[in-house]
Structures are given as C-alpha cells and as structure tokens.
Amino acid sequence: MSGVSPESGANPARALDERFRAEIGTLAPRHVRDENLGPGISPDMLWELFDAQATSRHLDLAARALGVAKRGYYSIGSSGHEGNAALSVATRATDPALLHYRSGAFFVHRARRVPGLDPIRDVLLGVVAAAVDPISGGRHKVFGSKPAHVIPQTSTIASHLPRAVGLAFAIDRAARLGIPSEWPRDSVVLCTFGDASANHSTAAGAVNTAMHTAHQGIPVPILFVCEDNGIGISVPTPPEWIEHAYGTRPGLAYFDADGCDPIDALTASERAVRWVREQRKPAFLRLRTVRLLGHAGSDMETAYRRPADIAADLVRDPVVATARVLVERGLSKPDEVVALYDEIGHRVTAMAELVWREPKLTSAAAVTAPLAPAHPEAVRADVLRAGTSGAPQRADHASDAPPGRTAVHDQADSRSEAPGTASRYGARLTGPDRRTTRTTASASEPATTVAQAINHTLADLLARDPDVLVFGEDVGRKGGVYGVTKCLQKRFGARRVFDTLLDEQSVLGTALGAGLAGFVPIPEIQYLAYLHNAADQLRGEAATLQFFSHGRYRNPMVVRIAGLAYQKGFGGHFHNDNSVAALRDIPGLVIAVPSRADDAAALLRTCVSAARVDGRVCVYLEPIALYHTKDLHPGDGAWSAPAAGPHVEIGRARVYGDGGDLTIVSFGNGVPMSLRVADRLASRGVRARVLDLRWLSPLPVADLLAHARATGRVLVADETRHSGGVSESVCTALIDAGFAGRVARVTSTDSFVPLGPAADTVLLDETGIEKAAAELLAD
C-alpha cells in the first residue's frame, strides 16, 4: 500500500485509484515475454480486456466526482466486477445482451467493437442525464445501445430474466417461422445479474422456464451469468450458495470462473458461450467477483462490513489483477501499464468536463415522448390491411372461420350494429372526427358472442399475419378455460399457438422476448387475479423499455386477460377479480375492455395493429361473464353481433341512444346493466343515453365530455371498487375539463369478491344504478 496518501482513506474512490498505481508500481519488470496465456488467448486480447476494465473503473470514479460536484446523478458503479469484460470477448457483437447494472466493463468492451460508438461519452451522458444520451435520452443511467445489441435494463431484482428467456426462445422461433429478426439464428442471449438477484423468485422462475422449455427439445440459447460478489446491498450471500443452488440442476450446464483472474475469466467465458451456441440450451456461469466502493453513491459499507472483509476484496481487485498479468508475463513494463491507466483516466475526466454541460430534458412533453407513440392513421391502415393475397385473409380450412370482409367508410352502418339494441338506442361510435370505419360482412354473417368474436378475430389475425403468436396457460390443446382459443392450435400449429407453463412471469417474459424478436405476441393471463404476481413484467419491463431506450427498443404485445366479476356459481376472488387499479397506473399502457361481440373483434384488431405499428403495450381485458351472453333482455338475442365490427380508434367511446336527460357512463359488465336501467327509466319518461368507455386507458375524454355536456347529468356505473376504481378517473376528467353539470357514481364495494350469492352484496347491480340515477335526476 506504499504510495497511497494518508488523506485518501477518507475518500474510498481516491484510495482505490491510488492503490492501483502503488500495486503495479512495485512490480519488477520481466525481460522474458511469455505469450502462452491459454488456448485462444492472445496478448492483444488481454490488452483489450485491461483497456475496457480500466475505462470502466475510471467511469466509476468520474461518476462519483460528478455526483459530489452536483453535476451527476445517482448511479451504481461496476468496480470489482470488471472481469465481466471477458464475456464481451467471448460473445459476438450481435449477441443480444441484457445486463446487470454492474456490467460496465462488458458494455465498454462491446461498444468498442462497433464502429462509431464511444462508450466513455455514452456512459457519462447517462450519468449527467443529458438529453443527447444515445440510449435513454436523459431519462436514466442505463447500459444500452441499439448498434451494440445491448438492451437497456433498469432491474435490480432480476426482472429482466424472463424477457431474456423469452428472447432466447423467440430467436429460434422467428427463424423457423421466417419472421425477420435483427439477430442471427445462432445467436446467444447473454443475461447478467447479481448473487442477491439470483435468490429472487423471478430469477428462479426464469431459470426454471428455460430448463423446462429446453427439456422439451425447444432451443433456448441463453447464458445466465451470476456476477457473485457475495453481498446484496448489506446482506451477505452465503459462500458457495450460488453453486449449491444452481450447480447441480438437471438440464442446466454449470460453469464457474474467477472474475478477478483474467485468464480464468476469459477461458471459462469462452467455454460457456461456445457450449450454449452449439447446444442451443441454457447454461449458468458463476462469475466470482468483489464489490468495491460500496453498493452505490454515498453508501458507507464500513457501517455493515468488517474492515478485514473490505481489505480482502481490495486484494482481489480485477483491474490490478489484469495489469499484474501483463507485467508478470513480460507483455508490458509497470510504468507502461500505469501510463495507459492514467491516459484513460485523463480521457474520461476530459469527457466528463464536457458532457455535464449538455442540455437536460426540460419539459414533461419531452420526457414522456417515447411513452405512448400514436399514429392512428397508420394503425387504421394496418387494421384494414388485406393479407398477402391482396384480399382479407381467413382460415379457409376451418369450418367455423368467419367469412371474408371488405373495408368501407360508412357512418350509417354504425347505427345498426346489433339487432334490438341498435334500434332501441341508436348505437353509434363517437369521436372527435365523427368518423366510423367499418369492416363489413355479408348479410348472412352470423351473430356471435364475445368469446366467439375473439376466437374468430384471433383466427383472422393468425391467418393474415405470420408475426402473430398466441400463447398462455391452457390456450393450446384445451382451447382456453372458456373455449376462447378453441381449435386455433389445430388450425395454425403449435409453433404459433402454444401452451406455456403455469407461471405468469414467464408468460409475459415470453411475450417481452418475442416482441424484441419481431413478433406481435398475444399472451393470455388466465385470470385477472393471476396477473398481480407478475405485474412488474408490465410495469417495470414492458412499459419502460421504450421510455428508457428513447423508442429504440419496443415491446409490441397484446395481453389478453380474462377478468372482472359476475360469474355465477364459480370462482371467489381469484376467478372474479374487479381490481384494475394496478394496470391503470402504468404510464403508456393501453387498456381495452369490450362489452359485446363486434367491439370485442374491433378492439382486439386495433390493439394488435397499435402493437405492430407503434410498439404499444396493450392489455385486452375480457369480461368473463359476458363471454357467452347473447341476450340483453331474455330471449331477444340483442347482445350478440357479427364479429365484423368497425375499426375503433384508441380512445373512442361508443354511445347508445341520444337521450337528453342523463348520460350513464360505464364499461364491461356495466354496459348491459346500464342499458336495462335506461329501458326502465324510459318507461317513466326519462330519456337516458349510455356511454361505453371501451378504453380505460387512455380514457375517451373528448367523447365523455361531449355526452356529459349534452345532458348536463352524468352517472358513472363502475363495476370496479369504490376506492381505486375507474369511476375516480372519469369524475376527475370531468372536473379537470370544467364540466359544470351534476356528477354521481355508483360502484362495487371495497371488498374482495366472495363465492356464491354473497357476491351480490358487494358488486354493482342494476338496482344500485337505477337508485343512483333517480337520486341524481331528483336534484
């Protein structure tokens, strides 16, 4: 430790920097050059490794200095993990990488393999949140690069692992189905994470999914890399726990390397990557590292770690270790290594002085620009696009396939969309432009239920678009719990319609990976209540990717979820769940809720096209209780309709009737209930119109205001809960817009949905709607 100034002890970053010079400066130069570094390892390779490691180290030091000077922001360093640069050496620049937040040296090395990239500038732009940051655009400090095939991740708890598994699966699936993908068929997906994350249920589930899939003979070329530094923030990981947990798993090849020994790290990384590339199966590499400079920022690890443990980690500093090999093998003199180290430091410091002056994001519009791209005309064109034959496509070999359709613009058509209902209420689509685009059918096209319309629409989409995949629990052979995907696997094959294992995180992870590989995935979550244990795959992964990559990466997907309440004789709260608050809180997420067959078809088509055109993440919430409903009133057949519904633009509502006394706003199960209430009100001389929101996010605010102002009274009939329900946002939208009329709401109770008749005591019902309407009209 000679040569380290006494005052540097108060500054761990400075102490680490000075320690490098002290350690290397005391080495005696070797006059015999030993280039026998191991199979496939050249001196140039070792120099490249050191350069990337030293650059990553100086980037850590610069990030801390920028933070102290109030010019940079929170970031987590990679010091002690620089051995992960060996993984970049072992992989191709076209292998997709989903990185741990300490994989800085990997990023530096990978970026330098791509002409035109400057990892020093790119990383520092992220540290200072500059608007010109080439990956996040100033929104977060992440390791990511489209040209370098590094998919940005902000995860600290392994939430990116399901996506990585999905991508490994989808790369091969895309090649087999002829879907264009940016990654070669023999790519290896690299996924790095920490030892603490390895204990998270998300990581365990993702590894299990990879093994489960590979066990069936399906290629899953993924290398899981656990960068094991032995501690998660302040909680130690038991020694050898990672090997104990993952080292003897059947179907998971296991490799181990000392990330603080450059030769061992290079050798093991090359072996592991080669094995995965050749076998197309998952493997696990434990890369033993150390954590220097604490967890992040101002973390003082002396508060929870023994001095002896901190000192032991310093002895294993991987940057020092690589420099020592260069000197001890006679590949360089000590002063030459130190000179290169200092020269890198000067370059990083000079760049830091430049980048902190770069402009930051200065408006909410600029910040949110990548969240919800919307090109409605392009989406409309994709909805109405004919198949490859030049005509609308259908599954001709299916006996119950929907007949062919053609697209026309016809406002009059929208007034006769359902027998009974239309004539009674004059059902029509409304929107700011007052246009209706209808996909018309022949007069003989049969009326369908919501479930049948979804089935027919999925069949149409699968027949027309080879990039569509349909999958989830029980969707294949069984055809879904409610028969919604019946016969689709038989018609289109198990490569495009398939069952997954019973793990919602893996279902959504498969969709996340498939979207990256060029597909438009339509995963199914069997029940709304089942989503909640995997909601972070939507919030933390799907919805954030466009945001944190400034739109350079997208997650096109339409998540079908069977949900809401009113199932008779079945369920309890797991099968009757009316909680959608967690979904409505996710920025940029599209939420569609059809209530009848033609809307079920139209909204699904719109969601799929929005995913394809704009990369939107859509949730398509299907009211289970309306799946097979045919009647509005007993025996009238008014709640069935042809599946050839009109194109419905995102954020456009549907109105039934033109009554001038009251607007009842609802969605899902509440729509037919509200229509029946409107009938009873009409018998008493009250003329009410019913507005079906159809979109819970974004809300159809323009339509809502137009019909609210037309009557001056609004009743929101909300089947979700009183607290955190949809009605809160509807009322808020009216208030924000300055609506001066009367507003009331009637909702379900703040309760889980119980089994049997007890459910009737807590759910919205027609009696409650009618009573609330009467009270509102009486004022």
Calpha distance 716→728 (Å, rounded): 9
Q: Please report, for the chain, how many H helices and E strands are present, in that order.
A: 27, 24
Calpha distance 665→661 (Å, rounded): 13
* Residue 180 CA from chain centroid, whole number: 21
Residues linked to residue 471 through DSSP beta bridges, in sequence order: 498, 523
List strand residue ranges (DSSP E) for 92-188, in order.
97-98, 150-151
Tokens of 520: 């438009």
**Positive/negative CA dihedral, 140, 143, 144, 145:** positive
Strands 662-666 and 437-440: unpaired
Calpha distance 63→68 (Å, rounded): 9
Q: What are phi and psi of 334, to 5 degrees?
A: -55, -45
Q: Are the C-beta atoms of 259 and 81 separated by less than 8 Å?
A: yes
Strands 688-692 and 437-440: unpaired
Q: Annotated catalytic residue: which of 140, 200, 575, 647?
A: 575
Tokens of 43: 């001196």
Q: What are phi and psi of 189, to 5 degrees?
A: -85, 125
3-state helix, strand, coil in the chain (%, to 5): 40, 15, 45
Looking at residue 539, the DSSP 8-state letter turns out to be I
Looking at residue 364, its amino acid is A
Q: Max alpha carbon distance in the chain (Å)?
A: 105
Which helix or strand (DSSP H or E) is residue 666 part of? Answer: strand 662-666
Q: Which residue's structure tokens are 């109105």?
A: 655
Q: Are the C-beta atoms of 247 and 254 separated by less than 8 Å?
A: yes
Q: Give, to the nearest 10 degrees, the angle between helix 104-112 and helix 43-68.
A: 120
* Residue 541 CA from chain centroid, whole number: 3
Calpha distance 61→51 (Å, rounded): 15
3-state secondary structure 197-252: HHHCHHHHHHHHHHHHHHHCCCCCCEEEEEEECCEECCEECCCCHHHHHHCCCCCC
Tokens of 439: 């996909």
Angle ∠(574,580,582) on CA atoms, nearest 5: 105
575 catalytic? Reply is yes
**Residue numbers annotated as active site:** 575
